[in-house]
Copies of this chain bind each other. A is one copy, B any other.
Amino acid sequence: METVIVTDVPRADRAVVEEFSGIGAATVGEALGRSGDLGSDLRPIQQGTRIAGSAVTVLSWPGDNLMIHAAIEQCGPGDILVVATRSPSEQGMFGELFATSLQQRGVVGAIIGAGVRDTQELRDMSFPVWARHINVMGTVKNTPGAVNVPVILGGQAIDPGDILVCDDDGIVVVPRLEADDALAKSRARLAKEEATRTAFLGGELGLDRYGMRPRLQEMGVTYRRHPEAG
């Protein structure tokens, strides 16, 4: 495992990042062609919060939060701390004291690919966290790792500086260099969803709106009345 702390990571334009926070992870994921999602295991400890930020990544040894300390110095306004461990771990490697430091630096949230604790305190201080586990048990600070190297989390490769869009549904990663394009596609997707919503509210069916009736027929789907129907 490499033991390096990378500094001066470029971030995407702040205004671009912030616009993602108003859109939502599912819409951005669709706009990206159904990609970038971190799966269903990383769950929010709060409800109703939607954020976007630039990744400061940490690669930690399981049961060891030494490198989170090293990472905090690399975090700034608009960032999200992203912690991956070298193998699965459930221990509570992030809590209220780290969040205090991060919030003081303008960091908007954290994604912990292991366990989090102090969950009530984190909700009370409005510091949002997504994590795999909630766990009382803490960690040691004995084994080195890396900060701001590419990490794999939730089946996605995340580079430092990539944009993370997080809400109650989960997390989507947008590569930093594709941010502008992804934002344009996300806006288009939002508009399309709004039009569909209006149509559905008016009673139009997806079957008709998307022209699915002939396709169902081609696929051999047939209609049949229930045997007990009157």
A residues neighboring B (CB under 8 Å): 1-10, 24-26, 29-30, 33-35, 37-40, 43, 47-48, 50, 61-64, 66, 69-70, 72-73, 86-92, 95-98, 100-101, 104, 115, 117-120, 133-138, 140-144, 148, 150, 152, 155-157, 160-161, 167-172, 193, 196-197, 200-201, 203, 205-207, 210, 212, 216, 219-226, 228-230
Take A1-B33, A88-B90 as given contacts and tell me if A97 and B138 are in contact as well, using a CB distance cutoff of 8 Å: no
Contact pick for A137, options B29, B66, B100, B161, CB 8 Å: B29
Take A10-B226, A136-B29 as given contacts and tell me if A66 and B220 are in contact as well, using a CB distance cutoff of 8 Å: no
Which residues of the partner chain B approach A96 to less than 8 Å between Cβ atoms?
A: 197
In the bound complex, CA of A160 to CA of B2 (Å): 23
Which residues of the partner chain B approach A135 to less than 8 Å between Cβ atoms?
A: 37, 39-40, 87, 169-170
- Whether the Cβ atoms of A140 and B61 lie closer than 8 Å is yes
For this complex, 20 residue pairs linking A to B, each with C-beta atoms less than 8 Å apart, are: A6-B223, A6-B225, A6-B226, A9-B226, A10-B229, A34-B86, A38-B136, A39-B135, A62-B63, A63-B64, A69-B205, A87-B89, A88-B89, A96-B197, A120-B168, A134-B168, A141-B212, A144-B220, A148-B226, A152-B157
A84 to chain B, nearest CB (A): 8
Which residues of the partner chain B approach A66 to less than 8 Å between Cβ atoms?
A: 212, 216
Which residue of the partner chain B has the closest CB to A142? B142
In the bound complex, CA of A13 to CA of B220 (Å): 33
- Whether the Cβ atoms of A70 and B136 lie closer than 8 Å is no
Q: Which of A2, A66, A171 counts the most chain B CB atoms within 10 A?
A: A66
In the bound complex, CA of A35 to CA of B221 (Å): 17
Which residues of the partner chain B approach A117 to less than 8 Å between Cβ atoms?
A: 26, 169-170
In the bound complex, CA of A212 to CA of B135 (Å): 25
A38 to chain B, nearest CB (A): 8
Which residues of the partner chain B approach A225 to less than 8 Å between Cβ atoms?
A: 6-8
- Whether the Cβ atoms of B37 and A221 lie closer than 8 Å is no
Which residues of the partner chain B approach A4 to less than 8 Å between Cβ atoms?
A: 221-224
